[in-house]
Amino acid sequence: MRLSRSQICRRAAAAAASLALGVASREAIAADPKATQVVQQMRAALEPDKPSVRQLELTVLGATPAEGSKFQLVQARKRLADKRASLTVMMAPPSALGIAYLIEDKKGTAPGEYTYVPIVRRVRKLVGAESQSPVLDSDFTFTDLGFVPTETQDKIVGEEKVGSHDVYKIESIPNPETQQWYYSKIVTWIDKQSLFPVQRDFYSQGFDLQCLGDVYVGDRDVDAVARDLAALANVTIVTLTLGSPEIFIAFNARDRGDVVKIIDGQLARVKGIDRIETYVALDIRKYESWFGNLAHL
């Protein structure tokens, strides 16, 4: 299986599945029972009940071939008594050997997601939007390596031909009760015969502003405040600090109006916050997501 910055290619039997990333605004669609059935059959084809092991190749493309990177991964999946589990482990190159990602999906609860980095010898639980952190500086996130989302409303918007495949074109948006969803919609082209996805396009929410905040905690435990902040869908980083402010956060917003809405409607409602000083990033000169030697984790 090959994953690149622009697409994931999945092969099973004679069918191939790929994923491409795109950017667009969210469009409302009504649920379609036939589309929902097709999507459920696609999930069953990709995620059978019996245990399975698959090999993946992740390719990060650079400006030149020499600047790119290639990673070999192994993924094991199994359905347990009350949940599904998927474990992805990096096998090559040597610098990435042993990095692992585990997701446990239990019906009725939010998935449990964990990473293991050999250099620090610690397991770290991903909280809130942390699951959308990039994997190895690629366009793919930890969640993209997990299960096909189930909390969607699906609609067939066309029947097309992609290469030699006759496909259904299906648009999916989150259910109204979904609390956390990091795409505005997903468009999937599903082969009518094999029911494998031939292509999947993930559309972003269109967040244009990166916002930062210093959180000063009042009469409540700092850890409790941090947990409530991490549970907010728009918050991407929650960091506990020494001294004051006690917590540093980052969150995404579409525009100025959205910034005010998030501050007043989400952040200000977290109990125990004395005050928040917020900033909007004008330019980000460097952004890396990696693990430091955080021994206390």
* Per-residue pLDDT tens over the stretch 100-131: 999 888 777 777 888 898 988 888 887 766 67
* Residue-range domains of the chain with CATH: 209-280 (3.30.70.920)
Biggest alpha carbon distance in the chain?
64
Amino acid type, 252: N
Rg over alpha carbons for the chain, rounded to the nearest Å, is 20
Place of tokens 């006690």: 246
Element (H, E) at 9: strand 7-12
Distance, in Å, from the CA atom of 208 to the CA atom of 238, rounded to the nearest integer, reads 20
How high is the pLDDT of residue 216? 95
The reply to whether the predicted model has a pTM over 0.75 is no
Give me the pLDDT at residue 74, please: 93
Which pLDDT belongs to residue 182? 65
Low-confidence stretches of the chain (pLDDT beneath 70): 1-33, 128-130, 137, 176-182, 205-207, 287-297
For residue 13, the model assigns a pLDDT of 27
∠ CA(176), CA(229), CA(240), 5° rounding?
Answer: 155
Say what the pLDDT of residue 217 is.
95
State the CB neighbour count (10 A cutoff) for residue 14.
9
Judge whether 101 and 77 are in contact, CB under 8 Å: no
Length of the chain: 297
Structure tokens at 235: 């918050």
3-state secondary structure of 154: strand
The helix (H) or strand (E) run that includes residue 168 is strand 165-174
* Distance (Å, whole) CA 124 – CA 86: 16
